[in-house]
Structure 1
Amino acid sequence: MDIGALLTSAAINTGLSVLLFSLYSILRKQPSNTIVYFGRRLASLNNRNSRNHFSFERFVPSPSWIVKAWETTENEILAIGGLDAVVFQRILVFSIRVFSIAAVTCLFLVLPVNYYGQEMKHKHIHAESLNVFTIANVKEGSRWLWAHCLALYIISCSACVLLYFEYKSITKMRLAHITTSPPNPSHFTILVRSIPYSVGESYSNSVKKFFTNYYASSYLSHQIVYRCGLVQKLMVDAEKICMRIKAAPKGQSSLKPCCLCGGSTSFKVLTDEPESVKDSFSYSNLNLATRDNERSAAFVIFKTRYAAVVATQMLQSPNPMSWVTELAPEPHDVLWSNLCIPFRQLWLRKIATLLASIVFMVLFLAPVTFVQGLTQLEKLSQTFPFLRGFLKQDLINHVLTGYLPSVILILFLYTVPPTMMLFSSVEGPVSHSGRKRSACLKILYFTIWNVFFVNHVSGGFLFAFNMLSSVGDIPVELAKAIPNQASFFVTYVLTSGWASLSCEVMQPFSLLCNFLKKHLLRNHEDSSDGLVSFPYHTEVPRVLLFGLIGFTYSVMAPLILPFLLIYFLLAYLVYRNQIVNVYITKYEGGGQLWPIVHNTTIFSLVLTQMISLGVFGIKKSPVASGFTIPLIICTLLFNEYCRQRFFPIFKKNVAQVLLEMDRRDEQSGRMEEIHQQLHSAYCQLPLTSHEFCESVHKLCQDNIRGREGTKSGKEPSEVSEPCAVCNFGKEGSIGE
């Protein structure tokens, strides 16, 4: 590829990005799109009213959203999106810092050496091949290769120093998150799986006998896990309907009188007559807390945080496959459907998903090979002779080599996240955050393999099997291929980076759904049911892949660094805007993403150093090669130090911190209040809970009062007769 093709791709992506960013700044001002671009704020404020006044300013692009995103502080991000959002922002800040250093070093030190590496007559800059800006243009045995080695040292040392301070800072934030947050039920609770079956005895009784026998002084209570399916559907539908009733204007409702009704839910739409409601609903069928529905898993609650941690650090029985314990996730983070999976199936599921992921990665080599064929027009012309005249046109040549390959690859990559999320669900994680973390790792491995490794050598299938058969030759093969693939990855940064950020801020799918709902279905109610949490499992691998590309090409082809730096700056603003305005926080992962980021960054550094070692060997520079080997060793030693110093805090809870928290709560007299809250924290069956039905009854009464225009001030507890709508207060009803 020449500079003209690169400029064509840059012009297309820049124009598309500017257009979409300008369009976004207009669409976000329209009242009908408030739920799309300010969904999180509406959900937190519980405000669905939009001002529909006309103003000329609504149709003029403005950069106000950029200013607001820039002015948002880290404390505000922490309060809005939690520690995971702060960690994600720290990834971008780290990338901006390290690649700013790399850009200054390589553009002023390495790029001139590459450009004048051969004695040749240079053309006009727009007609130059991109290879003259890479290390491939440096002649063998050149004494100027010390510049590349020096740049490699500067980048590696800067990255390690920044990584250390980020790891240290995020570790402190994680400990502060544990100590300063309100009492977390997950700190007092453990998840027990593979409970042994006893003839004539329920799982609930087995759990109670076991823990009262061996943990008599610290055991508080337990909550057995029941068969999922109908339970979860009833729970989700009830929560949605209650939220709709709360959000409806006073005196109006989009539902029938009973709040256990709805159009697209598991509840029937009933008539207004109370007798028909009672006759149509059998509450005895909702009492699912029976022995037949019990599963061999339970949440066991302890009196102190320290006791819960101790219970998870040891085997509970001589059989390691029985009474398996682990710390429980947060209540909102529990993936109830996977708790019903027998524990003995988990290792088989993990093997099956691993094999399925490998097969999927191998099958994906076909589109990657096709994409690489488009970047090599000579081979394409030989394969299809009738296209030779068509491919000789400059515009077609520039579009095919500079823009189309990366676009096609990105379209194929859209199938990866849902597939990997499906594999992660089948694995059987017990929490939503655990499933996302597993999917994040799978997507990361997939993109590094298929986008980075396989793309560097054409002929995908042969390359894949050669790589697997001779792992020791990987650095040498990459050293030969990387300078020749610089053009593809520059355009990939432009297309997958710049354009994807503009699509992220536009939210095209949500915008289309909102348009169809309001203009075709005539439903003008803004509901928060469709709001989603931040897609860390897709965005973290994307950012880390760009980091890998940046480290690898910083010394080999420094021309990529300005485009990469612009991407990270845009990502910092776009994702900050999305966290503040769009995505809601459903659960907290506690910053568990940072160890993944640290390990991937170390892998990128070591791979870059090994590739540089191979290139220095090909270029016959023993001095540069000799100085690179100690750098690899020092990077690995630095990683080992961080693994010993910081990683255990992300893997286990600190006993000293938990004991201090327990003592503080006991001295303040809050422990008894915390224990009262823990009893219902992991309640899987809210429809059997008296408190839940009391709130349902109150919503029913408020809804009826609004419809009838009455002003009765009685609370549910003050009603002397059972409710004719939700049946609350009747002996044997679901409220008991």
Structure 2
Amino acid sequence: MDIIKVVLFLILRNQNFNFSPEFVDGLRSKCPKSVDRIRDVSRIWMGTAPKSKSRCNLALGIFVFSGIILLPVLLPVASTDHSIKAANTTSKGTFNELDRLSMGQVGNSGPRLWAFIVATYWVSVVTYYLLWKAYKHVSELRAKALMSPEIRADQFVILVRDIPPAAVGQSKKEQIDSFFRAIYPDTFYRSMVVTNNKEVNKIYEELEGYKKKLARAEAIYEESKKTNPDALKPSHKTGFLGIVGEKVDSIEFYNDKIKELIQQLEVEQKLTLKEKQQSSALVFFNKRVAAASASQNLHAPIVDRWTVIDAPEPRQLIWTNLPKTFYERIIRQYVVYVVVFLTIFFYMIPIGFISALTTLDNLVKLLPFLKPVVNQKAIKTVLEAYLPQLALIIFLALLPKFLMFLSKAEGIPSESHVTRAASGKYFYFSVLNVFIGVTLGGTLFSSFKSIENDPNSIFRVLAESLPQNATFFLTFVALKFFVGYGLELSRIVPLIIFHLKKKYLCKIEAEIKEAWAPGDLGYATRFPSDMLIMTIVLCYSVIAPIILPFGVVYFGLGWLLLRNQALKVYVPSFESYGRMWPHIHTRMLATLILYQVTMCGYFGVKKFAPTPVLFPLPIFSLIFAFICQKKFRRFFVSPALEVISHELKEVPNMDIVFRSFIPPCLSAGKSDDHQFEDALSHVSKTGSSSV
């Protein structure tokens, strides 16, 4: 099947009816040119940055350098130890022979376990070294991107929240302008007060919908006139779903609705600008150094007033979250944390039971009528290999949108920050529910009583369960790169959907572009999915070293495949210049600590007296994390003034910078800008306008 997918990709990739370069150029033209220098952290993670093309990506490097030592040393040590009989295999499934190549084959308290102790340290040292190198490399890429002479609107803007009430007789805009002009008299340009755009946005979206319908109706009419010069204009009924109601001329009806909505929009725009101002604003500076400096300064002695951060790109702003107050954001954040914790806990229950139930022995016990089918060797092999993994993948597919919703509910102001937050939640879901949940769930029926009697025994059960699930996770990793990468490369499902839409639904070029648009790389789910594979491979790298080649293949194919997809298929929806990296670094260290604690537990299960030798490892990891945070992280929170002070290739047009931040619903439908002069310039004392 995977060979077929690759062949389909090679055949279909350059066909004009499948791939239209102008679509890509049109979509990518909306992105900053500097995207080619650093497409966020995906270029480091997946090896698409120019400087990283010649080196392995981080995860691949960890597994390659670990495997160089672990495979030739640990496999012979394990396979030549005959202290445990083959009948006492620890694995579940049809791959019991793999036990002979795992740490479970080595006898308890045996001297051969020293080799696995050294291997545990080796994997940790390799990870420390490569993480350090990667952090330095990403910092350099971020610095070069921020030093670009290209003009980026967001570098001249700060986001101000928690603005206190204005004095009597003073407008909100006057309050903001006077506050920042007093602090930055030479570099302050103007401010833009955030407004409640709910109503005006509703009218704007309705207007845009009718414009699309009008363009579609005109295209249908023009097409029909080619075959029949006397063709009738398109018509439709105005009632429910166009099925009932008065029949009208579509083109005339849409034109009338557009004129009506434009008038409503202009009235609502004026009302919004004057009467729906919020306690947040965007403040513009004529120097990007001044904006960067302002974003890092404390502007009020009380932390819940005049809160300032650097502004994201205009396309990233989540306008509804900007006015949320300091304490509201904190409360929302902790409420979301509680919801995530409860969701993880309750999600672990069905995943644990699914893991337990989808083992064939338990499945036959619950559904005896399946026994004749399951007993057939070919079917049994396939079911044992893939049934639990498929059930797990389906469960995980339900999460991303829910986690994105929760992240937005925190009051986060930008799409890139929401993506990072959702990515972190998805990572903890994956590790706790998949790695730990499946590990415990596989022995749930046999170990439930012991955990119930002694809750502290859960750590012992986890350590004892790891070897039993080695083959499950090995086939899980294999399934991910065989099926997942095959579908990713061929994109056969999106291709079929595109052609169906193009043939039966799309009538104008804009609709064809919309149907073709591939979206972005999907950072919120892709990084956690890769981190789950890294967690699995890292935690089993010493217990069952044979899993390392599978990890190498997964990330090696990912480096080749996603490099192509990132550069030639996906269109980035935002640019945050590497701010995802510190989060990835933190997750990788969390994975490393989990691996180290797991190894301590498993050596304890093996009754190996020198096990305390491993106890310093988690402490080393915490110290390493602390050093990295102090040395590198600040630069990813705020731009360094040394970097941002480089000259631009031209003097920025501040009016264009300002207008790029005006929401579409407030800038659309105007016959001219004169009637909105107050919104686009400094207001007078008699006008309380803002944007």
Report the TM-score range of the alignment, normalised by the length of the smaller protein.
0.7 to 0.9
Which amino acid letter does the alignment assign opposite residue 101 of structure 2? F
Matching of residues 334-483 of structure 1 within 5 Å? 334-374=317-357, 376-458=359-441, 476-483=460-467
Indicate the residue corresponding to 1:220 in structure 2.
189
Cα distance between partner residues in 2 of 1:391 and 1:275: 66
Indicate the residue corresponding to 2:76 in structure 1.
112
Deviation at 1:496, TM superposition (A): 2.7
Indicate the residue corresponding to 1:554 in structure 2.
541
SS at match of 1:591: coil
Deviation at 1:404, TM superposition (A): 0.7
Cα distance between partner residues in 2 of 1:731 and 1:615: 73
Deviation at 1:632, TM superposition (A): 3.8
Residues 141 and 619 of structure 1 are in contact (CA less than 8 Å); yes or no, is this contact kept in structure 2? yes
Residues 226 and 684 of structure 1 are in contact (CA less than 8 Å); yes or no, is this contact kept in structure 2? no
Indicate the residue corresponding to 2:571 in structure 1.
584
Indicate the residue corresponding to 1:287 in structure 2.
269
Indicate the residue corresponding to 1:31 in structure 2.
16
Residues 187 and 640 (structure 1 numbering): CA distance in 2 closer, same or farther, change over 3 Å? Answer: same
Cα distance between partner residues in 2 of 1:630 and 1:184: 46
Matching of residues 141-540 of structure 1 within 5 Å? 141-198=109-166, 201-232=170-201, 271=252, 281-282=262-263, 284-285=266-267, 287-288=269-270, 289-374=272-357, 376-458=359-441, 476-521=460-505, 523=507, 525=509, 527-530=512-515, 531=517, 532-540=519-527
Give the structure-2-normalised TM-score: 0.81
Q: Does 1:85 pair with 2:64?
A: no
Stretch moving more, 224-233 or 297-306: 224-233
Indicate the residue corresponding to 2:662 in structure 1.
683
Cα distance between partner residues in 2 of 1:469 and 1:649: 50
Deviation at 1:231, TM superposition (A): 4.2
Cα distance between partner residues in 2 of 1:29 and 1:449: 42
Residues 301 and 403 (structure 1 numbering): CA distance in 2 closer, same or farther, change over 3 Å? Answer: same
Identity of aligned residues (%): 26
**Any unmatched runs of 5+ in structure 2?**
49-55, 88-92, 224-235, 239-248, 681-691
Residues 596 and 618 of structure 2 are in contact (CA less than 8 Å); yes or no, is this contact kept in structure 1? yes
SS at match of 2:108: coil
Which amino acid letter does the alignment assign opposite residue 219 of structure 1? F
Residues 381 and 388 of structure 1 are in contact (CA less than 8 Å); yes or no, is this contact kept in structure 2? yes
Deviation at 1:28, TM superposition (A): 2.7
Cα distance between partner residues in 2 of 1:147 and 1:323: 58
Cα distance between partner residues in 1 of 2:413 and 2:445: 37
Deviation at 1:455, TM superposition (A): 0.9
Cα distance between partner residues in 1 of 2:506 and 2:293: 57
Cα distance between partner residues in 2 of 1:207 and 1:253: 53
Indicate the residue corresponding to 1:648 in structure 2.
634
Q: Does 1:22 pair with 2:7?
A: yes
Which amino acid letter does the alignment assign opposite residue 499 of structure 2? F
Residues 635 and 309 (structure 1 numbering): CA distance in 2 closer, same or farther, change over 3 Å? Answer: same
1:615-654 alpha-carbon deviations (Å, 9 max, x no partner): 222223334x244234444333333222221112112222
Deviation at 1:45, TM superposition (A): 7.6
Instruction: Report how many aligned residue pairs link the two structures.
Output: 637
Cα distance between partner residues in 2 of 1:38 and 1:367: 47
Cα distance between partner residues in 1 of 2:453 and 2:200: 50
Residues 80 and 585 of structure 1 are in contact (CA less than 8 Å); yes or no, is this contact kept in structure 2? no
Residues 334 and 431 of structure 1 are in contact (CA less than 8 Å); yes or no, is this contact kept in structure 2? yes
Cα distance between partner residues in 2 of 1:620 and 1:274: 81
Cα distance between partner residues in 2 of 1:533 and 1:550: 27
1:514-544 alpha-carbon deviations (Å, 9 max, x no partner): 1321233364746333522220111000111
Deviation at 1:19, TM superposition (A): 2.5
Residues 246 and 582 (structure 1 numbering): CA distance in 2 closer, same or farther, change over 3 Å? Answer: farther
Residues 270 and 277 of structure 1 are in contact (CA less than 8 Å); yes or no, is this contact kept in structure 2? no
SS at match of 1:295: strand
Cα distance between partner residues in 2 of 1:493 and 1:570: 12
Residues 99 and 105 of structure 2 are in contact (CA less than 8 Å); yes or no, is this contact kept in structure 1? yes
Which among 625, 629, 632 is matched to residue 639 of structure 1? 625
Residues 44 and 390 (structure 1 numbering): CA distance in 2 closer, same or farther, change over 3 Å? Answer: closer
Residues 78 and 106 of structure 2 are in contact (CA less than 8 Å); yes or no, is this contact kept in structure 1? yes
Indicate the residue corresponding to 2:683 in structure 1.
none
Deviation at 1:446, TM superposition (A): 0.6
Residues 241 and 166 (structure 1 numbering): CA distance in 2 closer, same or farther, change over 3 Å? Answer: farther
Cα distance between partner residues in 1 of 2:487 and 2:82: 42
Residues 333 and 433 of structure 1 are in contact (CA less than 8 Å); yes or no, is this contact kept in structure 2? yes
Give the structure-1-normalised TM-score: 0.76
Which amino acid letter does the alignment assign opposite residue 166 of structure 1? A
Deviation at 1:281, TM superposition (A): 4.4
Stretch moving more, 627-636 or 446-455: 627-636
Residues 207 and 258 of structure 2 are in contact (CA less than 8 Å); yes or no, is this contact kept in structure 1? no
Indicate the residue corresponding to 1:568 in structure 2.
555
Indicate the residue corresponding to 1:593 in structure 2.
580
Cα distance between partner residues in 2 of 1:293 and 1:573: 51
Cα distance between partner residues in 1 of 2:452 and 2:326: 33
Which amino acid letter does the alignment assign opposite residue 18 of structure 2? N
Which amino acid letter does the alignment assign opposite residue 624 of structure 2? F
Indicate the residue corresponding to 1:607 in structure 2.
594
Q: CA RMSD in A?
A: 4.2
Residues 333 and 432 of structure 1 are in contact (CA less than 8 Å); yes or no, is this contact kept in structure 2? yes
Cα distance between partner residues in 2 of 1:193 and 1:461: 53
Indicate the residue corresponding to 1:716 in structure 2.
none
SS at match of 2:81: coil
Residues 387 and 44 (structure 1 numbering): CA distance in 2 closer, same or farther, change over 3 Å? Answer: closer
Which amino acid letter does the alignment assign opposite residue 113 of structure 1? V
Residues 191 and 282 of structure 2 are in contact (CA less than 8 Å); yes or no, is this contact kept in structure 1? yes
1:424-466 alpha-carbon deviations (Å, 9 max, x no partner): 1211211110111111111111101101111111266999999
Deviation at 1:134, TM superposition (A): 2.1
Residues 39 and 464 (structure 1 numbering): CA distance in 2 closer, same or farther, change over 3 Å? Answer: farther
Cα distance between partner residues in 2 of 1:284 and 1:180: 39
Stretch moving more, 317-326 or 139-148: 317-326
1:255-309 alpha-carbon deviations (Å, 9 max, x no partner): xxxxxxxx99xxx976499999867842642533532122221101123334334
Cα distance between partner residues in 2 of 1:203 and 1:595: 37
Residues 81 and 585 of structure 1 are in contact (CA less than 8 Å); yes or no, is this contact kept in structure 2? no
Cα distance between partner residues in 2 of 1:126 and 1:384: 21
Matching of residues 94-105 of structure 1 within 5 Å? 94-105=58-69
Residues 318 and 414 of structure 2 are in contact (CA less than 8 Å); yes or no, is this contact kept in structure 1? yes
Deviation at 1:405, TM superposition (A): 0.6
Deviation at 1:193, TM superposition (A): 1.4
Residues 457 and 481 of structure 1 are in contact (CA less than 8 Å); yes or no, is this contact kept in structure 2? yes
1:315-358 alpha-carbon deviations (Å, 9 max, x no partner): 43344322222111122221223224455422222222222222
Which among 83, 108, 112 is matched to residue 140 of structure 1? 108
Cα distance between partner residues in 2 of 1:330 and 1:433: 9
Residues 368 and 460 of structure 1 are in contact (CA less than 8 Å); yes or no, is this contact kept in structure 2? no
Which amino acid letter does the alignment assign opposite residue 684 of structure 1? P
SS at match of 2:562: helix
**Any unmatched runs of 5+ in structure 1?**
1-15, 47-75, 255-262, 694-726
Deviation at 1:43, TM superposition (A): 3.1
